[in-house]
Amino acid sequence: MTSDDLKRYIRDVPDYPQKGIIFRDITPLLGDKKIFRDVVELMSRAWLADPPELVAGIEARGFIPGAAIAVKLGAGFVPIRKTGKLPWMTVVESYDLEYGTDQLEVHSDAVQPGQKVLIVDDVLATGGTASAAVRLMRKLGADVVGVQVLIELGYLEGRERLSEVKLVSEILY
């Protein structure tokens, strides 16, 4: 399965969530059981030789491939959420979006110092969310082994904000 094959399952939604943004919607891909399975295999491939102990998925679409990748790699799963969504004590990190600012949080006991963690999301845009997730995991003492995304919007140069970690993307726009 090539990147171009997968692009057929990505829907472009113009002007969402605001004018000038093209939202890359992965729900058609998720709805096809064979393609979704292939994507999980593809997104797991770079991490099979030395799997992480935990996979941290970024809210909300990062949860979907993230949890499946965790199962594939024999790892636990940690949800990285938007502020106010977690019921226990949390650690918080702020970040810039392509279209604003926000915060991420995780339970303060979600990661033990030294645990190997892979961060997963659906899209890498400006790199703000992913770099905040890396900082958040490191606040807890994690050894961040890398960031895995399905889609990279290369024209937004988000990769530059993640130069200190291994970054793997499957579809480049």
Measure the N-to-C terminal CA separation of the chain; round to a whole number of Å.
17
Instruction: Find the catalytic residue in 61, 81, 159, 161.
Output: 61
User: What is the 8-class DSSP label of residue 86?
Assistant: -
Q: Which residue has the tokens 């096809």?
A: 32
The residues pairing with 105 across neighbouring beta strands, listed in sequence order, are 81, 92
Q: What does the chain come to in residues? A: 173
Amino acid at 19: K
Sheet with 76-82, edge to edge strand ranges: 90-97, 100-107, 76-82, 54-58, 116-124, 143-152, 167-172
Instruction: Find the catalytic residue in 41, 98, 135, 138.
Output: 98
For 11, 26, 148, 152, 155, the CA distances from 8, given in Å and listed in that order, are: 8, 10, 20, 15, 20
The residues pairing with 55 across neighbouring beta strands, listed in sequence order, are 77, 118
Known catalytic membership, residue 98: yes
Active site residues: 61, 98
